[in-house]
């Protein structure tokens, strides 16, 4: 297989890379010629299946179980990449959870759990990978935020707070490492078809779609295409940005 010169021989670490948006990003990067480290929290079977699909594209793929809410697990994910490939060129912080509920009835446990995975987990992964990227004077970091972090969303105070935090963290870290050849950007997906949206009623889906100028839900591949560009060498003069991939939902 002929690899894309923009990504050939790069190593990418994708948290939550076995399912949904994470899986689509993993496959898109593999199609560009990246070797991939696929982090998963729960489904080993899904991770191994995604790895097989990547290997069929002519790249190496390894899986590593870990919860990014754990500092030890974040270190393990990065150490796996270092052991297997000797470097990390691309880090995609995609792992995330939801524990929805109205603020008045939301427990502190549910609020903190979402921040620990979605926001603190991304911080820990960036910190763990930083030394290798700074030494190499090269890196691409892509943090998956959400339009909920820009617009807010009823019943998602914890999720919206975590995704807004991702945006602030992205911009701050981008300023810290720009001179080292490292870019840090965020993608804010809109309403995207995933396992979570499959559980919604048809009426609820149609209500949301009516608010989207593009008049359709997004596909995981829509997010993956944006991530593949931001992960490439062609995006080297783009940093600290938030790219909304939302069909015009929050313009």
Catalytic residue set = 159
Smallest CA-to-CA distance from 122 within 246, 13, 244 is with: 13
Q: What is the DSSP string of 131-161?
A: HHHHHHT-EEEEEE--THHHH--TTBHHHHH
Two structure tokens written together for 117? 């995975």
54 and 30 Cβ atoms separated by less than 8 Å: yes
**Three-state secondary structure call for residue 101:** strand
Smallest CA-to-CA distance from 36 within 120, 48, 67 is with: 48
143 and 122 Cβ atoms separated by less than 8 Å: yes
CA atoms within 13 A on the CB side of 251: 9
Separation of alpha carbons 28 and 55, rounded Å: 12
50 and 24 Cβ atoms separated by less than 8 Å: no
Using DSSP bridges, classify how beta strands 90-93 and 11-14 pair: parallel, antiparallel or unpaired. parallel
Two structure tokens written together for 243? 């790219």
Angle at 115 (CA atoms; ends 244, 241), nearest 5 degrees = 25
Question: For the chain, first and last CA: distance in Å?
Answer: 40
């Amino acid at each position: 297989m002929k690899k894309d010169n923009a990504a050939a021989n790069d190593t990418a670490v994708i948290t939550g890379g076995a399912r949904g948006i994470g899986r689509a990003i993993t496959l898109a990067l593999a199609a560009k010629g990246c070797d991939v480290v696929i982090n998963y929290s729960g489904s080993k079977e899904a991770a191994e299946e995604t790895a097989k699909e990547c290997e069929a594209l002519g790249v190496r793929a390894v899986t590593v179980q870990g919860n990014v809410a754990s500092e030890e697990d974040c270190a393990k994910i990065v150490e796996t990449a270092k052991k297997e490939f000797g470097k990390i060129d691309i880090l995609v912080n995609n792992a995330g959870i939801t524990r929805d509920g109205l603020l008045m009835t939301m427990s502190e446990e549910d609020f903190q759990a979402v921040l620990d995975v979605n926001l603190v987990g991304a911080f820990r992964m960036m910190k763990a990978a930083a030394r290798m990227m700074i030494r190499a004077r090269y890196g691409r970091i892509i943090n998956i935020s959400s339009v909920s972090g820009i617009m807010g969303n009823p019943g998602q105070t914890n999720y919206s707070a975590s995704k807004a935090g991702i945006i602030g963290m992205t911009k701050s870290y981008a300023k810290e490492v720009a001179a080292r050849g490292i870019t840090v950007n965020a993608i804010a997906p809109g309403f995207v078809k995933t396992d979570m949206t499959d559980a919604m009623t048809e009426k609820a889906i149609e209500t949301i779609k009516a608010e989207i100028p593009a008049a359709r839900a997004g596909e995981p591949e829509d997010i993956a295409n944006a991530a593949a560009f931001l992960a490439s060498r062609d995006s080297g003069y783009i940093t600290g940005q938030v790219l909304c991939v939302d069909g015009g939902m929050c313009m």
